[in-house]
Structure 1
Amino acid sequence: MRLHDVVTASAGLTARRSRKAKVDVLAELLTGAPADELAAAVAFLTGTPTQGRIGVGWRTLSQLRAAPAESPRLTVGEVDSALGELAATTGSGSARRRSELLRSLLSRATAEERDFLFRLLTGELRQGALEGVMVEAVAAAADVPADAVRRAFMLSGRLPAAAHAAMSGGTAALEAFRIEVGRPLRPMLASPAESLAAATAELGAVAVEYKLDGARIQVHRRDDDVRVYTRTLREITAYVTELTDLVRGLPCRSVVLDGETLALTDDGRPRPFQETMSRFGSTRAEQVRALLLRPYFFDCLHLDGTDLLDAPLRERREALRGVAGDHVVPGEQEPGDPAAILAASLEAGHEGVMVKDLDSPYAAGRRGRAWLKVKPVHTLDLVVLGAEWGHGRRRGYLSNLHLGARDPDGGPPIMVGKTFKGLTDELLAWQTAELPRHESRRDDWTVYVRPALVVEIELDGVQISTRYPGGVALRFARVLRYRPDKEVADADTIDAVRALLPGNDSGEA
């Protein structure tokens, strides 16, 4: 398969707004893809090479001088092979060798193919929203149920692997995917609820747990081998030795646990989120001693050879209590006074509560209505689209942020507002240095950036507005923090923003 065909399909996705039209474009391409190039084609079109992040920046690519090819001749397999060699090139002299490999690849690409490769390698194509569209396209091309593709994807964590299974072995191959201890699966997600009363009324028999202001972790143990992953499936085992030691001591042979971890003050209150996240990038012994992490687990997905994904939450909670003991997140099952749990969580310095359907299975990778989050204030995770230069005391700093919500149909983020409120001097300095690294263009007032950074925004609500493309605007938006633990695919959708409009009870996020 020619790379040109993939590039053409990518352009076709951009030109179409209809989700069905996008699915049709992708399904047609997949139907004609050779088996040995299918995985790479799926990976390219969902914005991530099969090798993962290659570690090549926009600046490096833009400095490579090579005339583009006049006609398309690169194949998907050749590009995948070149990127594999690039990813494997490390050590002494690797910088020069990587430049040579990139220059050779780009010299064989047309101008359109080069632009696609630039965006693929720098993460600009990695919207994540296209994953849902691709799942439907794989199902259409292979004539299998979309739910079967989705489940295989969530269990494997790799959409190209699920696509290959669907196209080569159909439903039977997809159903062969199981939890594999040591291989992370995509986490179940929650949707916002308007209030605690609304959440408990919607779900019926529930568990109500503290919603912690920590970092999501997924822990896998088989005998003495313990692995720890973030919500984006990045392994952080080497950085969190106190967590691995603790899990190694739990009363089991094998287990997969879902939970949160956070650093606490001496009086047991949560430290700022940024302090917890700082542990995920440092192995310095003095930092480990000074800032220990405490885990709080809220789900058990596998225990001693038994997979629990499809078991109701009440059974998974029973398994969790038996294995995690004092490290279960505070909360109650079918509480008599849910409001008391919410008050206690807030008093302890946490965000609110999670309300969970006791009869629900663990829907890995899905954001449905079986888990509802209740917080006293509205917050949204939005994509940074740009920033305007400040005035007065903020002169010389990138200040007023342009904010976008994720398009669930795979398009670029949709702008929903701006804000300069809540930015500390530290954040101003950080984003002034960081945003130009993601720059796509600029004018006299604004630096526009490729979708890469997620920021958590607190707001009073949403109102109808013709000023922004999404038809809504944020009211009194304030920056809470950047979210380095989240990718653009984890940002809230435009539907979630619209759900906050007065009188809208949909609540989907």
Structure 2
Amino acid sequence: MTLLASVVDASERVAATRSRKTKTAELAAVLSVAAPDEVLATVVWLAGETRQGRIGIGWRTLSSARPDPAAEPSLTVTEVDAALTELTTITGAGSTQRRKAALGALLGAATASEQKFLIGLITGELRQGALEGVMTEAIAAASGVDAAVVRRAVMLSGDLARTAADAITGGEETLRAVALVVGRPVRPMLASPGSSMDEAIASLGPDVVVEYKLDGARIQVHRTGDDVLIVTRTLRDITSSVPELVELVRGLPCESVVLDGETLALADSGRPRPFQETMSRFGSAEGELLLSPWFFDCLHLDGVDLLDAPLEERLVALERVAGPHRIPSVMRPTPDEAAAHLDAALAAGHEGAMVKDLASPYSAGRRGKSWQKIKPEHTLDLVVIGVEWGSGRRSGWLSNLHLGARDPDGGPPIMVGKTFKGLTDELLRWQTEELPRYETHRDGHTVYLRPEIVVEIELDGAQTSSRYPGGVALRFARVLRYRPDKTPAEADTVDTVRAMRL
């Protein structure tokens, strides 16, 4: 049985290095010695989460329940996983004291370093740099399975930990057997930023499709018969919140289908409403705003999986099943036609355009540049890692945001700037109520946060600067909107920011 101490040691070594190669080796080493029934918990812990989700224990309870640490390690992965499960099942009268006692027993059997690890795990503040891309490579190294096969299994199952267990216990044959299942969400394919329409077409060639880039929310739709599932880009089930979309999907001329697309609320003029209004519908089925779907890909149709088919073939299937709801697009445009389509998208109130290689298969994540997004304004998705109390008119409100870019090697977000521009009174109120829920600590005027919130920033570029750890600083950054539909793993990297230097 694997000791918790070996997982903690691996976590500390991963956190201590910026080298992706070293991180992968350390993770692979601990996975390769884990027993089959320990792999699930080990992978999830090293990603900074628990199999049980949020345990629901705050700092106050942890502080009061923290006993002196054990002198020697004795806890096993299985014992700790069982203890975490027990904590989630304690409810009812007297549950606070019983949970405190169970937590004290767990922490009392842990060494000082194990206590630190467990507290970080329970509070969601464990950040050791084991991002999904690094973990995927580690699973491949530990199991001897090609990384591309591991990535595909993760895409189709939507479950990194389950894929790790299957890879280590069953090898490549087991992973290759993982298939698309209608009703089980697929990890979405993402686009890379493109510098301009001309350069995107020059890099991809003439065989492309150019589509509107809508200012909406990503959705993935599954249907078998009358059973419909609709999920967000993070694979959260929102089916019950969007009955009008469910009704529309049930009316499509097919028996089974998986579609990728966007949804947004439209004003009476036909122009898109603010993004936040669209997102507000994802929390409740009630609401006066109706959502309109626009699809841009078809991954399955009537028993035929299309993931590995070229995009051009997938678009034929899309036109057949959902033509009236297909996103506006032009196939194999001339440079002038592509530019005109971008102009039309902007004139209609959308963000820009997408340029996609018609020969590309569907691959989860941001793999290569077969999909490129073209936007006229410089924008970045960054992580909020702190916020300062305002002064003057903003006294009493949390105002100035500390912004971090994603470390491509899996470390914590790297600070690249601050901004308080673009914040409306409504956003100031929201920040002051919401952001303290992510607090880790604070000093005289700054509240430091767990890196979980993504915000979209508009800027005029970046410049070399020694002021921030990333070696760059944002120029004239201003808040466009928060992105509850995105995770920190989808934020832009510090390399992307550096590439914007003037």
TM-score normalized by the length of structure 1:
0.93
Equivalent residues in 2 for 1:430-445 (5 A)? Answer: 430-445=430-445
CA displacement, residues 72-121 of structure 1 (integer Å, 9 cap, x when unaligned): 22221122223334445667876666555444433433332232222223
Q: Give the residue type in structure 2 aligned to 1:411.
A: G
Q: Which deviates more from structure 2 when the two are superposed, residues 413-422 or residues 133-142? A: 133-142
Alpha-carbon distance between aligned partners in 2 of 1:100 and 1:269, rounded to the nearest angstrom: 57
Tell me which residue corresponds to 1:507: none
Tell me which residue corresponds to 1:401: 401
Equivalent residues in 2 for 1:233-272 (5 A)? Answer: 233-272=235-274
Contact residue 157 and residue 186 of structure 1 kept, 8 A: yes
Local SS of the residue matching 2:370:
strand
Q: Which deviates more from structure 2 when the two are superposed, residues 57-66 or residues 245-254? A: 57-66
Alpha-carbon distance between aligned partners in 1 of 2:433 and 2:284, rounded to the nearest angstrom: 21
Tell me which residue corresponds to 1:308: 306
Alpha-carbon distance between aligned partners in 1 of 2:326 and 2:61, rounded to the nearest angstrom: 46
Tell me which residue corresponds to 2:380: 380
The alpha-carbon deviation at position 22 of structure 1 amounts to 0.9
Contact residue 406 and residue 492 of structure 1 kept, 8 A: yes
Q: Give the residue type in structure 2 aligned to 1:428.
A: L
Local SS of the residue matching 1:356:
strand
Alpha-carbon distance between aligned partners in 2 of 1:494 and 1:310, rounded to the nearest angstrom: 32
Alpha-carbon distance between aligned partners in 2 of 1:297 and 1:63, rounded to the nearest angstrom: 52
Tell me which residue corresponds to 2:217: 215
TM-score normalized by the length of structure 2:
0.94
Which among 320, 323, 326 is matched to residue 325 of structure 1? 323
Structure 2 unmatched runs, 5+: none
Q: Are 1:474 and 2:474 an aligned pair?
A: yes
Q: Give the residue type in structure 2 aligned to 1:29.
A: V
Q: Give the residue type in structure 2 aligned to 1:421.
A: K
The alpha-carbon deviation at position 128 of structure 1 amounts to 7.8
Contact residue 356 and residue 372 of structure 1 kept, 8 A: yes
Q: Give the residue type in structure 2 aligned to 1:310.
A: D
Q: Which deviates more from structure 2 when the two are superposed, residues 109-118 or residues 29-38? A: 109-118
Q: Give the residue type in structure 1 aligned to 2:78.
A: G
Tell me which residue corresponds to 2:492: 492
Which among 279, 282, 285 is matched to residue 284 of structure 2? 282
CA displacement, residues 420-474 of structure 1 (integer Å, 9 cap, x when unaligned): 1111111112112222221122211211112111111001111111211111111
Local SS of the residue matching 1:171:
helix
Q: Give the residue type in structure 2 aligned to 1:198.
A: E
Alpha-carbon distance between aligned partners in 1 of 2:431 and 2:305, rounded to the nearest angstrom: 43
Local SS of the residue matching 2:21:
helix
Contact residue 157 and residue 184 of structure 1 kept, 8 A: yes
The percentage of aligned residue pairs carrying the same residue is 66
Q: Give the residue type in structure 2 aligned to 1:430.
A: W
Alpha-carbon distance between aligned partners in 1 of 2:103 and 2:315, rounded to the nearest angstrom: 50
Equivalent residues in 2 for 1:79-118 (5 A)? Answer: 79-87=80-88, 98-99=99-100, 101-118=102-119
CA-atom RMSD in angstroms: 1.9
Q: Give the residue type in structure 2 aligned to 1:488.
A: P
Tell me which residue corresponds to 1:506: none
Tell me which residue corresponds to 2:189: 188
The alpha-carbon deviation at position 377 of structure 1 amounts to 0.2
Task: Tell me: CA distance 1:66–1:314, structure 2 relative to 1, closer, same or farther (3 Å).
Answer: same
Alpha-carbon distance between aligned partners in 2 of 1:234 and 1:56, rounded to the nearest angstrom: 23
Local SS of the residue matching 1:180:
coil
Alpha-carbon distance between aligned partners in 2 of 1:126 and 1:326, rounded to the nearest angstrom: 45
Tell me which residue corresponds to 2:120: 119
Contact residue 127 and residue 489 of structure 1 kept, 8 A: no
Alpha-carbon distance between aligned partners in 2 of 1:209 and 1:329, rounded to the nearest angstrom: 7
CA displacement, residues 346-373 of structure 1 (integer Å, 9 cap, x when unaligned): 1111100111000100112234301100
Tell me which residue corresponds to 1:505: none
Tell me which residue corresponds to 2:295: 297
Task: Tell me: CA distance 1:126–1:489, structure 2 relative to 1, closer, same or farther (3 Å).
Answer: farther
Tell me which residue corresponds to 2:6: 5
Structure 1 unmatched runs, 5+: 503-509
Task: Tell me: CA distance 1:97–1:228, structure 2 relative to 1, closer, same or farther (3 Å).
Answer: farther
Alpha-carbon distance between aligned partners in 1 of 2:290 and 2:127, rounded to the nearest angstrom: 33
Aligned residue pair count? 498
